[in-house]
Structure 1
């Protein structure tokens, strides 16, 4: 029941983010221009490089707190949060100078037109405050995770998105539109989200209190040591996710980077959806580990991979199968020529993102050294391939996309299930079995997309939405009848009857 509520809230937040991206991106591109739009994401990418430092704490505090709290060790859990808060304040103060330096010297590390330089610098400064605020508040995310009430986190994210959009509209209407106003709007949303996060933390964890006596070098050292490999992993993650735009800027120029920044949003949203859905399984995985139930953990993780794959297969197939008409309707006919980029993104993401729930197994086991080193290595491979294929090989944006596809498949589809099977002590093939159904379902949905385009011409939002709805219905029937197990079909029907009965009453 909790999973259903959490998933519904996360799906709602995701659909809201999709709607806002579809609506806001053409507005911002037309207002600021394609070249300037590219720096909206690029400036945030520069700031995110500093997460290499902060992730050492923020990535492990939720895990340590939850394990201690599940075991009834409230004093220990209290100490973890207290030490995190103190350390995060100190680290934030130390990061102010390098963040300001990044803003001042930004024109020395990327191609920035002179007329945009001041706006880009101010955008980085405001974005730095947003980054530090997010870091400071990360510890309060432990409460919804521990209580398995992740719908609270999703609801806060939805409020944050709405405030950001409203602030962008207000700033653009009242002042001359600038890049930095988008970061200022995001900061306003983050402030409100922080207030809400603190409120729910106090409500869900009423026994927590910040005490100076809980501050301990030993506890802080424990968190830092556990998070060290997460910092190494974060370097790899940044090389995977946030090097493509910089590569496009440096190798292909600001204009190509701006075009890529526009179309990459939906692959990034799909990655975000995958991460959000995968996180729904994390509290139960952590709980199984805390109780020492390895058979239950492995069985649940297999189900998580399978369900995650089914949930992601449909949006991935829609993204790839309807890429051409979608880009034409959304951003104009000039973008239809880059639709094959979305074909590539949709294809490899449909397979590779399904395995993301397994990340929480090595987090629960606190076995993060090997994944961190592999992520770093493959992140470096991604950079080398992206530069080589986009530049010397003359593949342009396609080279950058292919580099990401190769690297992520190696990491998620091959390494992840094999490594998790090793640390759990189970057979190597055990975590691969859940992927066959989702892959067939994705291929089916993509084929339906192509069949619809052979029958009708999609040239408006109405026809695009209708096509998407038709594909979704066909996918639902296919998945229910041919992919879901008998037990899963019975469970769905039981919940449907219960919902129908409640409505009739």
Structure 2
């Protein structure tokens, strides 16, 4: 087997200096994309709801949720390709990198071909399998087919997009993502303004935007990785076996993750109908935004962790893991706590008074994220060590348990849709707190409880911010966006000061300032 597929970490010179020098600019590029995405989504979802109605909007959220199960194949392959390609390039093994790249592309093409069959079957039987608003059956089928086609294009596109990840050029990565987002939303907005709103335009916009994304990723790949060439002769059975093995177990893990994070809309649609699907789907924007915020930092850490693994720098991996989990946990407590504390007035101002009653649902969806998203950097440690098998089996088992618990809480506890969200929060927290943090600590040869303290700090921070927001909004209900913004800003400043002095130690503060000044030592 080639050196590219070896787990041995040889003492080479990886691109760690590039990772350090571009850390701030990469996070800034991701932050700019988050601001753009958040701004557009806060306008876009009410725009869709107002033009299409809540039930029809629910079909868009449902289509995205269903297609994610097909996209897990692409995501799993992308994890596998990213790991081996990063190690190849960090070791200067161009021949191995080309073998990994071309074999990964071939695997993606095979996966897309196979996924066409279940996608076609689900599209045909969609009205029989799910609650679809009357009169929208054909439009919903076309929407699902188009979203499915867009994700298949994305699977192929991700093979080229990995170049910007490994080369630490998140600015180019986010330019492509921004163009894709603006294309999709822009086409829908223009069509809705010019003609009567319908799901057909939404469907067409998904496909066009996906093609723009593919073209952008190809252009970036040619600029950043000219050493990688398309050549079917580089497809290699050794690479095929290694990529398939890691990709298969990653797919198992991704399946379990989707059963934890994406099954809720399917259960809500089956048990509570299309109208509630739309309401639930609208509130899902907020956990999605926090997840995107986390990815802005975490994706920058991925190539840095892989580079240190390739160089055998285990101490460097420990520093990245420990500091990132603590800083993320403390930082994520702020948005999670604010949404828990100001959920009712936020939903009232954003979507209308009829949505304010979904405040409890919002709390259940976001209240646990400071803990569960803070462990995200540890996933890259598991991938670097190629230890996805155990993680995947446990995640799949807990994902299946989540389905049973969600149905039980929704049907027999009297919690309704809140029971679906509560089940995911419970199972997800058990997985990350009791398993992931301990497992990764063991891999890094740290005490198994090493990550418990920073996760506890995030949980307590969320409670403190949520309690403050709830108290303030009960005494002074914000009548406008300006008033709500002033309350949020006040609590955010107070929390930031308290967190800086009481939650972070001297090493954390020094690292934080070094990152701000562009001299990351992670």
Normalised to the residue count of structure 1, the TM-score between the two structures is 0.94
Q: How does 1:86-165 map to 2 (within 5 A)?
A: 86-165=106-185
Inter-CA distance 39–271: structure 2 relative to 1 (3 Å threshold) = same
Indicate conservation of the 8 Å contact 1:43/1:123, yes or no.
yes
Aligned equivalents of 1:444, 1:346: Cα separation in 2? 14
Aligned partner of residue 337 in structure 1, secondary structure: helix
Indicate conservation of the 8 Å contact 2:146/2:206, yes or no.
no
Instruction: State the match for 1:439 in structure 2.
Output: 459
**2:362 matches 1:351:** no
Q: Which moved more, 1:429-438 or 1:375-384?
A: 429-438
Aligned equivalents of 2:228, 2:408: Cα separation in 1? 52
Instruction: String of CA shifts for 1:42-62, please: whole Å, max 9, x gaps.
Output: 112222222344344222111
Instruction: State the match for 2:90 in structure 1.
Output: 70
Aligned equivalents of 2:475, 2:411: Cα separation in 1? 39
- Where does structure 1 differ by over 6 angstroms across 4 or more consecutive aligned residues? 494-499
**2:50 matches 1:34:** no
Deviation at 1:136, TM superposition (A): 0.3
Q: Which moved more, 1:35-44 or 1:443-452?
A: 443-452
Deviation at 1:318, TM superposition (A): 1.5
Instruction: State the match for 2:283 in structure 1.
Output: 263
Q: How does 1:356-505 map to 2 (within 5 A)?
A: 356-490=376-510
Normalised to the residue count of structure 2, the TM-score between the two structures is 0.91
Instruction: State the match for 2:293 in structure 1.
Output: 273
Instruction: State the match for 1:503 in structure 2.
Output: none
Deviation at 1:490, TM superposition (A): 4.9
Aligned equivalents of 1:83, 1:476: Cα separation in 2? 47
Aligned equivalents of 2:279, 2:106: Cα separation in 1? 42
Instruction: State the match for 1:222 in structure 2.
Output: 242
Instruction: String of CA shifts for 1:271-330, please: whole Å, max 9, x gaps.
Output: 232234222211111112111122221122101101221332211111111101000001
Instruction: State the match for 2:15 in structure 1.
Output: none
Aligned equivalents of 1:394, 1:68: Cα separation in 2? 54
Inter-CA distance 386–336: structure 2 relative to 1 (3 Å threshold) = same
Deviation at 1:2, TM superposition (A): 1.9
Inter-CA distance 258–279: structure 2 relative to 1 (3 Å threshold) = same
Inter-CA distance 442–399: structure 2 relative to 1 (3 Å threshold) = closer
Indicate conservation of the 8 Å contact 2:406/2:423, yes or no.
yes
Indicate conservation of the 8 Å contact 1:103/1:124, yes or no.
yes
Indicate conservation of the 8 Å contact 2:337/2:461, yes or no.
no
* Larger RCO, structure (CA 8 Å, separation 6 or more): 2
Deviation at 1:380, TM superposition (A): 0.6
Picking from 232, 251, 259, the partner of 1:212 is: 232
Deviation at 1:408, TM superposition (A): 0.6
Unpaired segments of 5 or more residues in structure 1?
500-505
Aligned partner of residue 354 in structure 2, secondary structure: helix
Aligned partner of residue 115 in structure 1, secondary structure: coil
**2:101 matches 1:81:** yes
Indicate conservation of the 8 Å contact 2:338/2:469, yes or no.
yes
Aligned partner of residue 366 in structure 1, secondary structure: coil
Aligned equivalents of 1:164, 1:468: Cα separation in 2? 31
Aligned equivalents of 1:498, 1:435: Cα separation in 2? 26
Picking from 218, 233, 249, the partner of 2:269 is: 249
Aligned equivalents of 1:481, 1:52: Cα separation in 2? 41
Instruction: String of CA shifts for 1:167-188, please: whole Å, max 9, x gaps.
Output: 1111112232112322322332
Picking from 186, 196, 205, the partner of 1:185 is: 205
Inter-CA distance 118–217: structure 2 relative to 1 (3 Å threshold) = same
Indicate conservation of the 8 Å contact 2:188/2:201, yes or no.
yes
Aligned equivalents of 2:439, 2:518: Cα separation in 1? 41
Instruction: State the match for 2:11 in structure 1.
Output: none
Instruction: String of CA shifts for 1:228-285, please: whole Å, max 9, x gaps.
Output: 1111112212211221111011111222112111112111222232234222211111
Indicate conservation of the 8 Å contact 1:354/1:435, yes or no.
yes
Aligned equivalents of 2:134, 2:353: Cα separation in 1? 29
Picking from 277, 301, 307, the partner of 2:321 is: 301
Deviation at 1:485, TM superposition (A): 2.7
**2:308 matches 1:288:** yes
Instruction: State the match for 2:345 in structure 1.
Output: 325
Aligned equivalents of 2:113, 2:518: Cα separation in 1? 53
Q: Which moved more, 1:193-202 or 1:176-185?
A: 176-185
Aligned partner of residue 374 in structure 2, secondary structure: helix
Picking from 29, 32, 38, the partner of 1:12 is: 32
Aligned equivalents of 2:513, 2:445: Cα separation in 1? 36
Deviation at 1:455, TM superposition (A): 4.9
Aligned partner of residue 105 in structure 1, secondary structure: helix
Q: Which moved more, 1:401-410 or 1:215-224?
A: 215-224
Deviation at 1:98, TM superposition (A): 2.6
Aligned equivalents of 1:315, 1:11: Cα separation in 2? 15
Q: Which moved more, 1:397-406 or 1:3-12?
A: 3-12
Inter-CA distance 290–492: structure 2 relative to 1 (3 Å threshold) = closer
